[in-house]
Copies of this chain bind each other. A is one copy, B any other.
Amino acid sequence: MAYVKTEVRSQQFVEAARRVAERDGVAKLTLRSVASEAGASLGILHYTFPSKEELLASLLQDVIDEATFAFRDNAADPKDLAATIRAGLGSFWNGVIQSRDQLQTMQYELTTHALRTEGLRPLAREQYEQYSGLLRSWLVDVLAASARTSQTPVDVVSRVLLAALDGLIIQYLCDPDPVRSVGDLNVIADVTVHMLGA
């Protein structure tokens, strides 16, 4: 095993942990499985992450940091706010459908695990603050592009929108029907426009 700075090694382990958690589930993530996945010895894992909880905290943080909804790709049309919203949500949903289900499942597993683990609970909160924050800034941009202000507070809209998308993902995981989910998504888009007050 090559000699690299702990910082780098740490990142490698986090990536290995992510693969394991995604493939086998958070419940089956053990230090051994992670070490094996990373092709490293158990000793060095323990050297890098003194405890399993610290590894999981880093994994969750990594998942949080990575979250960047692919909204910005679509240029905001100043004239048609509704179309911009629809396009943004559409490209987001494409990402969800294309990413294998296991990634989404892992996120819920991580969240519930964090809720059950005293030391990780703040991260669960941070996770959702990050998500709604991303949606919020997207909405702010979209509104700015069409020189409007929202009727409902943007904070509220972003949280409700996040909630709807979150629930839609769960339903999609339980019954992966692309047609149905896209139909539901369009209604969510309409409803979002309505909240913004069009």
Chain B residues within an 8 Å CB radius of A170: 111, 128, 163, 166
- CB contact under 8 A between A174 and B127, given known A25-B116, A167-B165, A188-B160: yes
Chain A interface residue count, CB cutoff 8 Å, equals 43
Give the distance to chain B from A91, nearest Cβ to Cβ, in Å.
19
CB distance from A15 to the nearest CB of B (A): 21
Chain B contacts of A190 at CB under 8 A?
Answer: 195
Within 8 A of B (CB), among A57-116: 101, 105, 108-109, 111-113, 115-116
Q: In the assembled complex, how far is the CB of residue A48 from the closest CB belonging to chain B, in whole angstroms?
A: 24
Chain copies in the assembled complex: 2
Cα–Cα, bound, A105→B168 (Å)? 18
Please, which residue of chain B has its CB at the minimum distance from the CB of A131?
Answer: B171
| Contact for A111 among B163, B164, B174, CB less than 8 A | B174
A-B contact pairs, 13 of them (CB 8 A): A101-B115, A124-B174, A129-B175, A132-B171, A159-B171, A160-B184, A163-B163, A163-B164, A163-B168, A163-B188, A164-B164, A166-B171, A191-B195
> Which residues of A does B touch, CB under 8 Å?
25, 27, 101, 105, 108-109, 111-113, 115-116, 124-125, 127-129, 132, 152, 156-157, 159-160, 162-168, 170-171, 173-175, 180, 183-184, 187-188, 190-191, 194-195
In the A-B complex, the 7 residue pairs with the smallest Cβ-Cβ separation, listed nearest first, are A163-B167, A166-B167, A167-B167, A124-B174, A164-B164, A163-B168, A25-B116
